[in-house]
Amino acid sequence: MNTISRRTFVRSSALAAAACAAPSLALTQPKPASGAASPVRLGIATYTFRNFTRAKMVPWVKQLNVASLNCKDILDHLPMDPTAEAAALADYKSNAIELHAAGTVYFPKDEDDDIRSKFEYAQRAGIKVIVAGDPAPATLPRIEKFVKQYDIRFAIHNHGPEDKIYHSPLDVLKIVGSMDPRMGCCIDVGHCVRAGTDVVEAIHTVGPRLFNMHIKDLASFTEKESQVAVGQGKMPIREIFQALIQTNYPGWVDLEYEINGDDPLPGVTQSFAYMRGVLAGLGYDPRLTS
């Protein structure tokens, strides 16, 4: 198992300390009692480790003290094939890792059999949220039928200015707002801000239709390739966490680290240290979740 270098550990500790001490973390509302369980639950999207198999990824996840994943059908993370999926599920269970979402999952066909297979995939894994990429609006009524049948929430992932339909979560909401309440959004904060949408306002607007969140940081809100470790860019992490708390968001905040694919662990470690530091600065114990 790869271990975190002393340099990375020291840097991560410094990031956490800075997050806790930064004046910008002062709240305009009373803090909870110090050490209270955090209502913000941190997970990770396994796309972060897209270049690594499950055997490599699982020890890293445990090393990061992450206990819940948004799993994708990439390499052997969570294969669509039922037999291979069962092997992955057994592996996660034996390592005390749970799965809270599947995705991103794509729905290219407006056909019952294809859509049903994706819902059965999630059902076999005990997953209650499917994070969906770019489903055609004409397909959504058929998908809604399966949402009702399987009681699995359907969270459409916004993909920024390049997306033909779902630039921001507000575009998702316009289409699913009158549908079953289990039809909703996965807010990708990076793509959201690049679409010119205030991510904090979007969280409040989407409200109960927010089922999953992909967290990341950007050095520039206009440049897709400017991603950095969380805490090193311009993303308003504290305000995002506050908005999630204020709206009683029940889901997970999944780190989706899309850079340094061949060596993601240092940046991932720094990102979690910073986010946990922010939560500690808000008066919560990030090791405990409510």
The CATH class of 39-289 is: alpha beta
As a whole number, mean pLDDT of residues 36-62 equals 97
User: DSSP letters along 88-106, please?
Assistant: HHHHHHHTT-EEEEEEEEE
- Average pLDDT along the chain: 90
Rounded Cα gap, residues 218 and 204, in angstroms: 21
pLDDT over threshold 60, residue 142: yes
Closest C-alpha among 186, 199, 130, 198 to residue 159: 186
> What's residue 164's pLDDT?
86
pLDDT at 33: 57
**Closest by CA position to 88, among listed 96, 98, 97, 78:** 78
| From 30-44, 89-103, 189-203, 254-268, the region with the lowest mean pLDDT | 30-44
Average pLDDT over residues 215-226: 96
Nearest to 129 by CA among 138, 121, 140: 121
| Predicted confidence band of residue 17 (pLDDT cuts 50, 70, 90) | very low
Judged against a pLDDT cut of 70, whether residue 260 lies above it is answered with yes
Query: Is 243 within 8 Å of 282 (Cβ atoms)?
Result: no
Distance CA(25)–CA(225), nearest Å, equals: 27
- Write down the pLDDT at residue 261: 96
Single-letter code of the amino acid located at 172: V
77-85: Cβ within 8 A, 24+ apart: 77/46, 77/49, 78/46, 78/102, 78/125, 80/117, 80/121, 82/124, 85/121, 85/124, 85/125
Is residue 62 pLDDT above 80, yes or no?
A: yes
Which sequence spans correspond to the domains of the chain?
Answer: 39-289
Q: What band does 290 get if pLDDT is binned at 50, 70 and 90?
A: low
How large is the angle between the packed helices 237-246 and 265-281, nearest 10 degrees? 60
133 band by pLDDT with thresholds 50, 70 and 90? very high
Q: What is the pLDDT of residue 127?
A: 98
Separation CA 47–CA 164 (nearest Å): 22
